Homo-oligomer: A and B are copies of this chain.
Amino acid sequence: MSGFGDRLAGATARRGPLCLGIDPHPELLRAWGLGTDAAGLAGFSDICVAAFAGFAVVKPQVAFFEAYGSAGYAVLERTIAALRESGVLVLADAKRGDIGSTMAAYASAWAGDSPLAADAVTASPYLGFGSLQPLLDTAREHDRGVFVLAATSNPEGASVQCAVAPGAIPGRTVAQAIVDAAAEVNAGAARGSVGVVVGATLSAPPDVSALNGPVLVPGVGAQGGRPEALAGLGGARRGQLLPAVSREVLRAGPDVAALRAAAERMRDAVAYLGENP
């Protein structure tokens, strides 16, 4: 198996640079005529798996499964397995972060040999980018990817992400320091496997031009990010951005064909971001 960076580039070149979210929140479950329980989760996920086969990346939002405890996680495990079986890359949106042996345990869960392990996982660096090292190590050993939160679109995010980081570079924000730390890990690789997360609607995104890795851009569509306005976000190169859409597509469900058609429309709308559009 080749590194995650290579696999992602291959998948998006063939299938378009789009990440489709599986976000079974209670309102959507009800709108789809499903119960707000593990059985409803399973029905929701089955529909998404059927509709999203053939796309590049699918991102289950872990929180919506965890809300139902171990029963929800059993559904998540089956969903991850079914997605990988269908040939899409699976990005587990878990935003985990801790230190030492605890971080290593999260790495086992999401990037190791556990039934939750996906092709890539999101991570949260409040304990410092360096605290994620056990996850980066496990991911590399298993040819998986990690997307580290850098700058998010929610207004409260700036209170941490736009703080001025200590260190030798005057005025560098926390968000930029995270991107730069990821770039160091990716240096030397043909295509780095450590990505960052940058919100679609930021007025001053961090500079990702030297990242040499993918940039996940959540919040496209109904959440405010305009798919046609993403080119060059943070100085991104062609093929570097991976827009993620959830609600804009999911509200077309529960019909599988309608859901797939909505996903195809979004894929076409962001195709111009690809390496060879």
The yes or no answer to A13 lying at the interface (CB within 8 A) is no
* Residue in B27, B99, B131, B165 whose CB lies within 8 Å of A163: B165
Known contacts A160-B174, A163-B164, A165-B163; is A125 also within 8 Å of B126 by CB?
yes
Whether A66 touches B116, Cβ cut-off 8 Å, given contacts A156-B131, A161-B126, A163-B165, is: yes
Alpha-carbon gap, A70 to B81, bound state (A): 14
Q: In this assembly, does A209 line the interface, its C-beta being within 8 Å of a C-beta of chain B?
A: no
Also in contact, A159 and B106, with CB within 8 A (given A69-B73, A152-B99)? no
A95: Cβ under 8 A from any B Cβ: yes
State the CA gap A61–B98 with chains docked (Å). Answer: 10
Within 8 A of B (CB), among A156-177: 156-167, 173-174, 177
User: Nearest-CB distance from A65 to chain B (Å)?
Assistant: 9
Interface residue count on the A side (C-beta < 8 Å):
61
Nearest CB of B to A198, in Å: 13
Chain B nearest CB, measured from A98 CB (Å): 6
Query: Across the interface, which residues of B come within 8 angstroms of A177, CB to CB?
Result: 159
- Which chain B residue shows the least CB distance to A114? B69
Instruction: Determine the distance from Cα of A216 to Cα of B156 in the docked complex, in whole angstroms.
Output: 24
- Asked if A86 is an interface residue, CB under 8 A from chain B, the answer is no
CB-CB under 8 A for A130 and B156, given A162-B166, A163-B166: yes
Q: Which residue of B lies closest to A162 (CB)?
A: B166
Q: Which of B102, B124, B155, B166 contacts A159 (CB 8 A)?
A: B166
- Contact of A63 with B106 in the complex, beta carbons under 8 Å: yes
- Once the chains are docked, how many angstroms separate the CA of A149 from the CA of B99? 12
| Contacts A69-B77, A127-B156 supplied; 4 other A-B pairs, CB < 8 Å | A95-B96, A124-B124, A126-B160, A158-B166
